[in-house]
Structure 1
Amino acid sequence: MRKIGFVLSFILFSSIVWGQEVSILDAETGMSVSNVAIYNKDKSRTAISDFEGKSNLEAFSRNEKVTFKHISYETYVTTKAQISKRGNRVYLYLKPEELQEVVMSVSKWEQQKKHVPQKIASIDARSIAFNNPQTAADLLQSTGKVFVQKSQLGGGSPMIRGFATNRLLLSVDGVRMNNAIFRGGNIQNVISIDPFTIRNTEVIFGPGSVIYGSDAIGGVMNFYTQRPSFSFTDSLALSGNVNYRFSSANNENTTHVDFNLGQKKWASYTSFTYNSFGDLVMGKHGPDSYLRNNFVVRRDGTDVLVENDDARKQVTSGYDQLNFLQKITYRPNNRWNYDLGLIYSETSDYSRYDRLIRPNSEGDGLRSAEWFYGPQKWFMGNLQITKKGKNRFYDGVKLTTAYQHFVESRNERLFQEALRFTTKEKVDALSVNLDFENKKIGDLRLYYGAEYVFNKVNSEGSQKDVETNQTVPAASRYPDGATWQTFAGYVNGEYQIKPNFTLLSGARYSQVWVDAQFESDFFPFPFDEADIITGALTGSMGFSWFPSANLQVTLNGSTGFRAPNIDDVGKVFDSEPGSVVVPNPDLEPEYAYNADIGIRKNFDDKVVIRGAAYYTYLVDALVRRDFTFNGQSEIEYNGELSNVQAIQNAAKAYVYGFEFGLDAFFDEHWSFNSNLTLTEGIEEDDDGVDSAARHAAPTFADVHLIWQNQKLKADFFLNYNGEIGFRDLALSERSKAFIYAADSNGNPFAPSWYTLNLRSQYQISNALRATISLENMTNQRYRTYSSGIVAPGTNLILGLGYAF
C-alpha cells in the first residue's frame, strides 16, 4: 500500500509540476476564457483552452516563452515558471475594440456611449500609464481636447468650449469637488487628484446641470479612482505596483507605490505618491520677453533684485506634493456593494509665478518680493452603498455620502515693504446623493435622484511685519462662517425608439441658499449680510441616430446654470494691482443655453472621422465690473489706493466652435489620430460694448503617429496652438502685457507655437515596464494662452514601473 501511495503521489506531483494545468480567466470578471490558442515561439508546441478555460502545458519547457492568444483579448506572453508563481492562472484583458464602451458621467450609471448624444472624451488607466502625466491637469491636456492654462507650475486650469474655473465642474468618484469659494479666476484644485490612482477619466462637453447642478455650464470632468480587486480563489490575493519617474525640465523626482489585498468578499487598495518638482526651465527659441532675467532675494533684512544666472530657469516655481488614497470594498453578495474611499493631498508652499514677474509701476524692477500659496490641502471621505436587483421603483440604487475639507492660503509682500498680507481659507463640505436606475418601462430607461450639498467657509486674515515678526489681524478674503447649500431633484430618461435611434432627455430643479455675515472691523460695509435664496430649472434633450451601421448623428440641446457662491457674493481681494473686488449681495444665477450637433463616420474600421459644432449663449453672466463702495470708486486696500470692482450680473456672452477628429488604422502595428478645436467667444456688457471672451482658447490641435506591438508602443506627435492677436485678446488679458509677447505695434498678443514630441513604452517583462519620452524636441520657448509660467523646454522623461 505504501508503494501504491508513493506512486500515486509521484504521478500527482508530476502532473502538477510538469503537466501544469492552467486556468485562463478574464482579468475583469474572473470568468473562464475558452478557445485560447497557446504556443511557443516557433509554434512547434501548441495547446488550446477547453470550455472551462483550462489547458495542460505539459508540452512546454519550464522557462520558454509561451504565448496566449484569443481573437477578443490582448495577446499575453509568459513562462510556465511565472504561471506557477501566480497560482497556475493567466488573466487576459479584452481588446479595447471588443468592448461595448460604457460611460458613467451622463446618468451616474453605466450607459452605452453610442446611445449618448453629448460629446464625451474618455481616457483609461492604460492610456494614462502610457502618457505618464505629472498632474491631473497634464492628463486632461494630453487628451488633445481640453485646453489647460497655468499661472504657476503648481497649477492647471482647464478650459472647455470657452468656459473655465467655476463654470466647469470637477467630480471625483461621483462627488462634486467644486466648493463655495471656487472663483472666476484660474484655479488649480485639479492638481490634488493623483494620476497614478485614476482608472478612468470622462469629460462631458457642454452643460451637465441636469445631473450635476450648479457650475456645470461648459462641461464636467469626472475622475474615477482605482477600485480594489477581489480574489477569485479562497486565498488572499496580493498585488501592487511601484513606479518612479524623472523629468529633466523641472528635475522632477516622483515615487509611487500601491498594493491591493483581496478576498472573495472584501478588498483593499492603498496608494502613496510623492512628487518633487524643481524650478522649471523654459526653451531656447522664442520671445526674449519670456526670460526670467532677475528675481528678488532677501539679504540682511533687505529685498535685493539680483540677476538670474540662467534666465531660462523660472526661479521659485518648484514645489513638492504628497498624495494618499485608501479604498475598501465589501461585497457580501451579488446585490450589495459597500465602498469606502479616503483621499488626502497636500502640497508645499508654491509661488504664484505670474505675480512674481510683474514689473513695478516705474518699470525698473519687480512689484512683489513674495507671492505664494500656502499648502493646498484636500481631504475626502466617501462612503457609497450600491444595491442592484429588481424592485417596484428601481433596478439599482446608490447612496453616496461624502465629507471634504479644503485648506488654502495666499501670501503677498510688496518689494521692500515689511508687511506680508496673508489670507487663509478652510471649507468644510458635506454632500449626500441618492441615485436610482430603473429600466422596467419597456424601452424606456429612467434615472432619477436627489442631492444635498452644504458648504461652510472659514476665512481669516493677518499681516506680519517680517522685520519685527509681529503679526496682527487683517481683513479676511471672505466673510468668516459663511454658508452655501443646495437641494435638488432630477430625472433623466433614455428611450430607445428604434434599435438605431435613442432619445435622451432630462430635467432638474435646484434650490440654493447663500448666507454671509459681514463684519465692519476693517471695512465699513453698507450692509450686514447677504441672504440669497434662488432656484434654477434646467433641462436637456437630444438623440443619437445611426442612419447606417457606420454612421452616427447626434443632436443635443441643454441648459446650464451657475448660482452665486461665497466667492461671488462676499469676496474682498486684489484682482490685479490697483484694483480691489468688494462684496455684492444682490446677485442672481447665470444661465447658459446650448445646442450642439455631432457626426461620426466609420470607413470599414480603417478610418473614423468625428466632427461637432456647438453654440452656447450665456445670460445674466456673473462678471467683474467697476463698482462703488459707500459711494466711492476708489478705496485703500493693503496700503494701496485701488479701483473698486465687484461681481455683477452685468453681461451676456456667446461662444461657438467646431471640433474635429480623425483616427486611421493602417495595420496591426501602425495607427494615426488627430484632434482640432476652434473656439470663438464674445462678451457683451450692459452698455452694449463687445470684447473677446477671456476663456475662449486659441485654435489648438494635435497629430499622433503610433506604432506598437506586444512589447513596444511609440507615439510621435505634434502639438499646435494658434495665435491670438491683440484685437482678439480679452480686455482683462491686455492689462497683463508682461506675460505676453509684443507685436510690431508694441501691443501684447499670444503667438502661435508648436512642439514635436516622442513618447514610448517598453514592456521589459510581464512585471517590468519602462517609459521614455522626449517632449518639445526642438526646444521651443512658448507660453500657452493666458498662462503666467513659460512651458518646459526640451524635456526628457524617464519612467520605470514594476508590478507584483
Structure 2
Amino acid sequence: MRKIVFAFLASMAGLWAQAQETVKDSVSKELSEVVISASKFPEKKLNIAQRIDVISSKYISRVNAQNTGDLLINTGNVFVQKSQQGGSSPVIRGFEASRVLLVVDGVRLNNLIYRAGHLQNAITVDQNMLSSMEVLYGPASTIYGSDALGGVVHFRTKAPVLATNDKKTVLKGSGFARYSSANNEKTIHTDINLGWKKFAWLQSYTYSDFGDMKMGKNYPDDYPTFGRRDSFMTRINGIDSVVKNPDPQVQKFSGYKQWDLLQKLLFKQSDKVSHALNVQYSNTNNVPRYDRLQDKRNGTLRYAEWYYGPQERLLTSYEVSIGKTGWFDNINLNVNYQAIEESRYTRDYRRYDRLDGRVENVQVAGFVLDTRKIWGGNELTLGADGQFNTLKSTASRVNINTGASTKLDTRYPNGDNTQLNAGLFAQHVFKFKNKKFVLNDGLRVQTIRLRSTIADNSFFNLPFTEINQNNTTVTGNIGLVYLPVAGSKLSVNAASGFRAPNVDDLAKIFESATSPAIRQLVVPNPDIKPERTYNIDLGLSQNFGKNIRIEVSTFYTWFRNALVKAPFRLNGQDSVMYNGVLSQVLANTNANKAYLYGFSAGFYATVAKYLTFSSQINFTRGRFETDDTKNSSVYEKQSNGSYALVSKKVSSKPLDHIPPVFGKTSISYQRDKVMAELFALYNGWKKLDQYNADGEDNAQYATAEGMPGWVAFNLRTSYYFKAVTLQFSIENIFDRNYRNFASGFSAPGRNFIVAARVEF
C-alpha cells in the first residue's frame, strides 16, 4: 500500500509540473475561502498549511441532513460511527470521540467525561443554525489544547444582523418543514432576526420527531439476514416478553425526539467595540441504545431496557470584540458557562428489581482571550484560555414494580471530580514578499490538573480512593505553503498534539462487551500518562485551467502513550463477578508505540455549462505495539502503588477506530432555479483481522468476516421560486442494507425526503 500511495503522489506531482502554464490566469475560489478556526481570526485558506474543509450554510441547506453527523457523512471526507439513531461519532484520520475536539462558536465542548469510545454529543448542535462548519485535519493542539489529536470540528452559528445604509430596522428570517419516510421523521424549524443600527436580536427553534428507522431490504449476497431485527423485547401484562417483529427491516426502539433553541443578542457600542450574548439549549427525550438492545445472553435478548436519558446541553457565553487599540489590531474575549446532563438506564430481561440508572451532571466555566497584531507580512495571534470542569456522578437501582430504590455503583467516582485546563499560545503567519511562500508556526504551553475522589469504596474495594494528576506540556506546529502560480498550492506541515487523561480515562468503571460470549469490566488505572502525537502531512491543490481541480493530502502520525484497553488485575484477580456474570478485567494502559498513516484525494470538474463532477476517496491505517502473551498480559499492584507487568510479549495489533476506505462521487446540475445531484457514498470492506478485539470496533455487530463494503446511490433535487424552495430527495435508491464500520445501527433503507423552505 505504501508503494501505491507513493506512486499516486508521484503521478500527481508530475501532473502538477506539467500544468503550470495552463493555470497562470486561473484563480481558485476554493483556495480563496476565508477560514477562522486555524488562527482564531479570518485568514484565506490558501495561506494555511493545515488541511481544512469549509462547509457553508448554503451547502448545509442543500444537503438537508437529519443532524450534524449525517451532514459530515455527506461531505465524503469524514467517517461517522453510529450506535443508535440518536448518535453520530465523527472519525478524523483514525481518531474518534475524545481524540477529536468539538468546538462551537469558539467554545470547546469536550469535557472531563468525553469517552474514548463512541460519542453522540455532536448532534446537540443544531445544523440548521450554522453559518459554517470547519473541519481541521491533523493535530490542532497549538490553538485548541488537549484532545485535538485527529482534528477539530468547529461549528459556527449564525450571527445577528444589524440594519445598514438608510434602513432603520432589518427584519429577516427563515423556516422549513421536512418529512422523511424511512423513519417517519417530522422536523420543523424557524428563525427570525430583528436588527437596528446598534442592536440586533436573533432567535431560532428546531423540533424533530424521529420514528423507528427502517433499514434496506437488499442484503449482502453472503449475509441474507445481516442486521435484521427479527424480534424485540416488550412487556405483556407486566412480564418481559420476546415477540416477533412483524417487519424485520424496522429497527424497533430506535426513534427519539429532539429540540434545539438558540438566542443571540448583539450590541454595537461603537465602530471598534461590540458585545454579543449567545445562549444555546439542546435536549432530547429518552434515546434508545439500539445496538445494546440486540445483545443476547443464553440465546435470548439480554436487555429489556437500555436507553440514554435526556441529553441536555446548555451553553451561555458573553463575548466582547475590540478593534484597533494600543498595540493590538483585534482583541476578543469570551467568557462562557456550560451545563450538561447525561444519563443511562439499563434493565436485564425479567429483572424487575434492577432498573439501573446512572446520571452525570457536568458544569464547565471557561474563558478564551484572543489578540491579533499585523505588521509587514506578519500576522501574530496571542491567546490564553482556561476551563474549570466539575462532575457529580450519581446512581440508583429501582424496583419497577414497587418503586423501591437502593444504592448502586456510579459510573465515575462518587466524590469530588474536578479538572482545570489552562493554556497560553502564539500562532504566527508570515507572508513572504515574493507572495509565493507563507510560513505558519505556533507554540502552546498547557497545564491540566485533575482530582477525583471515591467517597464510597464499598462496591469494588479499590486499592485507592483518590486520583490526582498534574500534566504540563508544550506543543507546536510549523508549516510552509508554496504558491507558485494562481490556482496552485503545495504545503508541508508538522505538528504535535496531546490529550491529557480525563476522568473517563482514569476512573470510569463500566461493562464492555466485545462478543456475546465475553463480558468485560473496565476499571480505573490512576497511573496512565497523556497521549501524544507527532504528525507530518503534505498537501497539493492544483487547478487545470478554469474547470478542473485536484486535491491530494497524505499524512503520517507517530502516536505515543496511546491509551488502549488491556488485561488488568483488580485486587489480584483477572476476572470478577459483575451483575451476576464473570467478567474479564480490563483497564486503560499506555501502549508503547502506535502509528497511523493515510491519504485523501479529490477531483472536481465542470464538465458542461451547468454540470459539475466531483469525487473524494479517503484511506487510513493504524497499528500499535502492545504487551501480550499467549493468554493475555497480567498486571499486578506493587508496594509503591504502581502497576507492574508480570510477563510480556511485544506484538503489533490494529488500532481501533480506523475506518475502511470511504468516499463520495457526485454529479450535479444547477441552472437558475433548479438543482439536481446524483451521488454515491461508499465504504470498503473492514475485515475481521483488522479489528481491535479489546477496543471499540464492535465486531459483535458485524458479520463473521467483518463489515461488508457497500455503495449507496442517492438523488437530491430542489426548485426555487420567489422566497420558497421545494426539496425532494431519495436516499439509498436501491434499498441496500448496510452499516458503517463499528456501528450497531443500520443505515436507512430507501428513504423519500420532502421539505419546503421559506425565507423573508
TM-score by length of 2: 0.90
Query: d(CA) in 1 for partners of 2:656 and 2:30?
Result: 42
SS in 2 for 1:783: coil
Partner of 1:40: none
Query: d(CA) in 1 for partners of 2:445 and 2:273?
Result: 30
Does 2:147 align with 1:215? yes
Partner of 1:779: 735
Does 2:751 align with 1:751? no
Does 2:406 align with 1:472? yes
- Structure 1 gaps, min length 5: 1-94, 743-747
Does 2:602 align with 1:672? no
TM-aligned CA deviation for residue 521 of structure 1: 3.2
Query: d(CA) in 1 for partners of 2:573 and 2:665?
Result: 53
Deviates more, 1:330-339 or 1:184-193: 330-339
Does 2:486 align with 1:486? no
Residue 218 of structure 2, aligned match among 265, 276, 285: 285
Q: Please say if residues 505 and 541 of structure 1, whose CA atoms lie closer than 8 Å, have aligned partners that are also in contact.
A: yes
Query: d(CA) in 1 for partners of 2:446 and 2:431?
Result: 28
TM-aligned CA deviation for residue 390 of structure 1: 4.7
Residue 36 of structure 2, aligned match among 80, 101, 104: 104
Code of the aligned partner of 2:196: Q
Partner of 1:496: 431
Q: In the TM superposition, what are the counterparts of 1:247-646 in structure 2 within 5 Å?
A: 247-286=180-219, 287=223, 288-360=225-297, 362=298, 364-392=299-327, 394-418=328-352, 419-440=354-375, 442-480=376-414, 481-497=416-432, 498-519=434-455, 520-576=457-513, 578-646=519-587
Code of the aligned partner of 2:439: L
Partner of 1:200: 132
Residue 719 of structure 2, aligned match among 739, 753, 762: 762
Q: Give the 3 Å change call, closer, same or farther, for CA 429–735 of structure 1 in structure 2.
A: closer
Q: Please say if residues 28 and 487 of structure 2, whose CA atoms lie closer than 8 Å, have aligned partners that are also in contact.
A: no
Q: Please say if residues 147 and 697 of structure 1, whose CA atoms lie closer than 8 Å, have aligned partners that are also in contact.
A: yes
TM-aligned CA deviation for residue 518 of structure 1: 1.2
Residue 123 of structure 1, aligned match among 19, 30, 55: 55
Query: d(CA) in 2 for partners of 1:728 and 1:452?
Result: 39
Q: Please say if residues 677 and 716 of structure 2, whose CA atoms lie closer than 8 Å, have aligned partners that are also in contact.
A: yes
TM-aligned CA deviation for residue 314 of structure 1: 0.2
Query: d(CA) in 2 for partners of 1:98 and 1:692?
Result: 36
**Deviation sequence 1:663-693 (CA, Å, 0-9, x none):** 1013441111111001111122134222212
**Deviation sequence 1:546-588 (CA, Å, 0-9, x none):** 1222321000000000001010111111122621111121121
SS in 2 for 1:618: strand
Code of the aligned partner of 2:384: A
Partner of 1:719: 681
Does 2:51 align with 1:113? no
Does 2:57 align with 1:139? no
Q: Please say if residues 726 and 734 of structure 1, whose CA atoms lie closer than 8 Å, have aligned partners that are also in contact.
A: no
Q: How many residues align?
A: 700
Query: d(CA) in 1 for partners of 2:592 and 2:291?
Result: 27
Q: In the TM superposition, what are the counterparts of 1:684-763 in structure 2 within 5 Å?
A: 684-686=625-627, 687-732=649-694, 736-742=698-704, 748-763=705-720
TM-aligned CA deviation for residue 234 of structure 1: 4.4
Code of the aligned partner of 1:203: V
TM-aligned CA deviation for residue 769 of structure 1: 0.7
Q: Please say if residues 691 and 697 of structure 2, whose CA atoms lie closer than 8 Å, have aligned partners that are also in contact.
A: no
Partner of 1:81: none
**Deviation sequence 1:26-74 (CA, Å, 0-9, x none):** xxxxxxxxxxxxxxxxxxxxxxxxxxxxxxxxxxxxxxxxxxxxxxxxx
Partner of 2:601: 660
TM-aligned CA deviation for residue 415 of structure 1: 1.2
Q: Please say if residues 712 and 763 of structure 1, whose CA atoms lie closer than 8 Å, have aligned partners that are also in contact.
A: yes
SS in 2 for 1:447: strand
**Deviation sequence 1:391-436 (CA, Å, 0-9, x none):** 22x1101101110011011111111222111110010011111111
TM-aligned CA deviation for residue 236 of structure 1: 2.3
**Deviation sequence 1:755-781 (CA, Å, 0-9, x none):** 11101111022x111111101000000
**Deviation sequence 1:147-202 (CA, Å, 0-9, x none):** 00000000000111011000000000000000000001100000000111011000
Query: d(CA) in 2 for partners of 1:185 and 1:738?
Result: 15
Q: Give the 3 Å change call, closer, same or farther, for CA 300–153 of structure 1 in structure 2.
A: same
SS in 2 for 1:290: coil
Code of the aligned partner of 1:406: I
Partner of 1:160: 92
Query: d(CA) in 1 for partners of 2:324 and 2:661?
Result: 48
Root-mean-square deviation (Å): 1.5
TM-aligned CA deviation for residue 738 of structure 1: 3.8
TM-aligned CA deviation for residue 735 of structure 1: 8.4
SS in 1 for 2:650: coil
TM-aligned CA deviation for residue 445 of structure 1: 1.1
TM-score by length of 1: 0.85
Q: Please say if residues 733 and 786 of structure 1, whose CA atoms lie closer than 8 Å, have aligned partners that are also in contact.
A: no
Detail structure 1 runs of 4+ shifted over 4 Å in the superposition: 733-737
Query: d(CA) in 2 for partners of 1:435 and 1:738?
Result: 46
TM-aligned CA deviation for residue 107 of structure 1: 1.0
Q: Give the 3 Å change call, closer, same or farther, for CA 227–99 of structure 1 in structure 2.
A: farther
SS in 2 for 1:548: coil
Q: In the TM superposition, what are the counterparts of 1:226-265 in structure 2 within 5 Å?
A: 226-232=158-164, 233-265=166-198
Query: d(CA) in 1 for partners of 2:249 and 2:402?
Result: 35
Partner of 1:18: none
Partner of 1:63: none
TM-aligned CA deviation for residue 301 of structure 1: 2.6
Q: Give the 3 Å change call, closer, same or farther, for CA 98–560 of structure 1 in structure 2.
A: closer
TM-aligned CA deviation for residue 733 of structure 1: 6.7
TM-aligned CA deviation for residue 211 of structure 1: 0.4
Query: d(CA) in 2 for partners of 1:525 and 1:125?
Result: 51
- Structure 2 gaps, min length 5: 1-26, 628-648
Query: d(CA) in 2 for partners of 1:657 and 1:598?
Result: 12
Code of the aligned partner of 1:103: V
Query: d(CA) in 1 for partners of 2:712 and 2:680?
Result: 6
Q: Please say if residues 691 and 731 of structure 1, whose CA atoms lie closer than 8 Å, have aligned partners that are also in contact.
A: no
Q: Give the 3 Å change call, closer, same or farther, for CA 294–98 of structure 1 in structure 2.
A: closer
Q: Please say if residues 596 and 613 of structure 1, whose CA atoms lie closer than 8 Å, have aligned partners that are also in contact.
A: yes
Deviates more, 1:351-360 or 1:274-283: 351-360
Query: d(CA) in 2 for partners of 1:150 and 1:205?
Result: 21
Does 2:759 align with 1:799? no
Relative contact order (alpha carbons < 8 A, sep ≥ 6): 1 or 2 greater? 2
Query: d(CA) in 2 for partners of 1:595 and 1:389?
Result: 36
**Deviation sequence 1:73-101 (CA, Å, 0-9, x none):** xxxxxxxxxxxxxxxxxxxxxx9949931
Sequence identity of aligned pairs in percent?
A: 37
Query: d(CA) in 2 for partners of 1:346 and 1:736?
Result: 27
**Deviation sequence 1:336-364 (CA, Å, 0-9, x none):** 1111100000011011111000121x3x2
TM-aligned CA deviation for residue 378 of structure 1: 0.2
